[in-house]
Amino acid sequence: MSSNNQQICDAKPLDWALFTLTIVSTHVTWWALPLPTLFRWGFQSYLHDVAWECLRLQVPSYIASTACFGQPRENWECNYYAGVHRPATRIDTAKAFVKDSLIVVSTALALYRLCSGDQNQDLSGINSALWMYPSLPVAVYGLFIVIASRTQVKMWIIVSSALGLIIAIAVAMALVIAFTYGHGIWIPCTVLILMMGLPVWAVAPKLLVIAVFLATMSRFGGPIVGAKPGVVQEMEEIP
């Protein structure tokens, strides 16, 4: 293998695992998991499930508030994950576990990959960490809603605990990234996780549209942003 090829093909098994999990959790689950609905209830029901899942992945704080406030506690889980008003079945809970597990595992791998670097590391090659990390509030809200729907914990405790955990994660990761790399790469991902995780739309409804736009660009722009700019130049130099 030539030196140019060695520079291009430098991905480790962890990088491939991280990339695969991230692609599945951000670009596959939202249309693949609702597929049984298409064959059972028809295209209109499938379209509803896909639209709801997309919105949940972009603005989980908005969907969580819609699912819980003014709704029977036993319906919270299905309200949040599927947008339907009924108690969750074991299959519903299993699907919710799969969705959130993919997000949590891929985020954990991404942050491990990111935090194991140093100031001399090429950041462009690990942007998948910053690409996946802001999706964590989706799983955080889901976890709290699943637990709360089966208990009698007061609403204000649930809300404050979820928001507190999201803020703590955002601040902790901002500090880790800032001290590891020494510049402002932490700013965009921190802004995005706070926009997705905090109910900023309650203060200014127009921010809901901005949050959806930023989250969408983060998800679909991840592979482009994460690509190493040096690779394109190296490939152009290969005769």
Residue extents of the structural domains in the chain: 11-237
199 in Cβ contact with 62 (< 8 Å): yes
Instruction: Provide the whole-model pTM.
Output: 0.81
The predicted structure's pLDDT at residue 19: 75
The predicted structure's pLDDT at residue 196: 82
Q: Which residue from 148, 141, 150, 135 is spatially nearest to 63, judged by alpha carbons? A: 141
143 in Cβ contact with 100 (< 8 Å): yes
The predicted structure's pLDDT at residue 11: 60
The predicted structure's pLDDT at residue 230: 43
76 in Cβ contact with 148 (< 8 Å): yes
The predicted structure's pLDDT at residue 79: 94
The predicted structure's pLDDT at residue 144: 92
CA 184 from chain centre, in angstroms, equals 21
Residues 239, 237: Cα–Cα separation, whole Å: 6
Q: In a structure prediction context, what are the per-residue pLDDT tens digits for the chain, which is 239 residues long?
A: 444 444 455 567 777 777 787 778 777 888 888 898 899 899 999 999 999 988 898 889 999 998 998 889 999 999 999 999 999 999 889 988 888 888 888 888 877 777 776 665 555 544 555 667 778 899 999 999 999 999 888 888 988 999 999 999 888 888 887 887 766 777 777 888 888 888 888 777 777 788 777 777 766 665 555 554 443 333 334 34
The predicted structure's pLDDT at residue 81: 93
Residues 157, 25: Cα–Cα separation, whole Å: 29
